[in-house]
Amino acid sequence: EPEVTQTPSHQVTQMGQEVILRCVPISNHLYFYWYRQILGQKVEFLVSFYNNEISEKSEIFDDQFSVERPDGSNFTLKIRSTKLEDSAMYFCASSAGPGRGYTFGSGTRLTVV
């Protein structure tokens, strides 16, 4: 079964530092997403990415955040100047298209101290 791979599984960073969360989506998928889940809360949409550009982003996804597909396989989420409230699980997902099943990665637990 194809998987979405996320690294690292856990990252601890100092407040104000930049972090890059990495994802390898399923190879023949064209749509990529980042979601986050603050402990004990619901999963929240951050951004969708298609054809090398952002197709939709949420209010959470402000200038602090950016996404990139630097090569044919990786999909990254960069958080600049992290805040304590950025602590959460960040999930990457990919899909063959809207209305198709999504495959989520196991997540990166980000802890900002």
Partner 1 sequence: SQQGEEDPQALSIQEGENATMNCSYKTSINNLQWYRQNSGRGLVHLILIRSNEREKHSGRLRVTLDTSKKSSSLLITASRAADTASYFCATDAPSNTGKLIFGQGTTLQVKP
Q: Which of 25, 48, 65, 112 binds partner 1 (CB under 8 A)?
A: 48
Q: Which of 20, 45, 66, 76 binds partner 1 (CB under 8 A)?
A: 45
Q: How many CB atoms lie within 10 A of CB 102?
A: 16
> In the chain, how long is the greatest CA-to-CA distance?
38
Please state, in angstroms and as integers, the Cα–Cα distance from residue 20 to each residue in 47, 81, 95, 103, following that order: 15, 11, 22, 21
CB of 100 to partner 1, least distance (A): 8
d(CA 43, CA 33): 12
Q: Which residue lies nearer to partner 1 by CB, 55 or 81?
A: 55
CB of 97 to partner 1, least distance (A): 7
Q: Which residue lies nearer to partner 1 by CB, 43 or 113?
A: 43
Contact criterion met (CB below 8 Å) for 90 and 34: yes
98: preceding bond cis by omega (within 30 degrees): no
Q: Which residue lies nearer to partner 1 by CB, 37 or 64?
A: 37
Options 15-23, 59-67, 80-88, 94-102: segment touching partner 1 (CB under 8 A):
94-102
Options 13-21, 45-53, 65-73, 74-82: segment touching partner 1 (CB under 8 A):
45-53
